[in-house]
Amino acid sequence: MQAAVRVFAERGYHDATVRDIVSAADVAVGTFYFYFPDKETLFVHLYEETADFLIRTIRQAVVNRATLPQQLAMGLQAYVNIAVYEPAVVQLLLVGGVGAVLSLIEKRAVFRENLIAMWQAPLEQAMQKGVIAPQNLRRTAEALAGAFDEVVLNLLGHPNPEAEAGTAVQEMTQFALRAVVYKG
């Protein structure tokens, strides 16, 4: 399965043949079909698993932080870490996949919904506390989710993402705090 994620991320759904996957995993074709019903099912499954993993990991970093700045900083740090150390995850979720498999459209919608909800949660808390300006939090969460994804993708395009990671996290945090008008 790890082999499959790697191959799918590298080659894209269609150019990743079952033969590529099994030879990356060093097993025979038949073995693939012993464990998975078909290529598409595996791909969709992998997409969902990966999406869950990403969101779970970020949420884990967000909860148990007391203030919004901390929540954002830690969540973004977690996101950037995944992007830098497991680029295949980001590749699969943000770039490849959708468009190749029709049944993925729906899964993508679920993923985006969960991602947005994940970022919206700390904003709701902050608004309860009255530390951010009144606003349509759903829309703000959409915008922040998109903003973070784009910055992360740009980060990965740089020659040395690790070096830039710290600055990127800080600047994204500041961007978000300004956008919600945070009054510490």
Partner DNA sequence: TATGAATGAGAATTCATTCAT
Partner DNA sequence: TATGAATGAATTCTCATTCAT
Report, in Å, the least distance between residue 169 CB and a second copy: 11
Q: Tell me which of a second copy, DNA, none is bound by residue 60, counting a contact when its beta carbon lies within the kind-specific cut-off of 5 to 8 angstroms.
A: none
Q: Tell me which of a second copy, DNA, none is bound by residue 173, counting a contact when its beta carbon lies within the kind-specific cut-off of 5 to 8 angstroms.
A: none
How many residues bind DNA (CB under 7 A)? The answer is 18
Output b/e per residue, 17-27; b: 16+ Cβ within 10 A. ebebbbeebee
Residue from 1, 33, 139, 154 touching DNA (CB under 7 A): that is 33
Please give the full DSSP string across 77-127, using - where no structure is assigned: HHHHHHHHH-HHHHIIIIISSTTT-TTHHHHHHHHHHHHHHHHHHHHHHHH
Six token digits for residue 107 = 């899964």
Question: Is residue 48 at the binding interface for a second copy, with CB under 8 A as the rule?
Answer: no
Q: Tell me which of a second copy, DNA, none is bound by residue 157, counting a contact when its beta carbon lies within the kind-specific cut-off of 5 to 8 angstroms.
A: a second copy
Specify the residue for token string 């679920």.
110
Report, in Å, the least distance between residue 111 CB and DNA: 23
Residue from 46, 84, 168, 169 touching a second copy (CB under 8 A): that is 168
Output b/e per residue, 121-131; b: 16+ Cβ within 10 A. bbbebbbeeeb
Binding site for DNA (CB under 7 A): 14-19, 27-35, 38-40
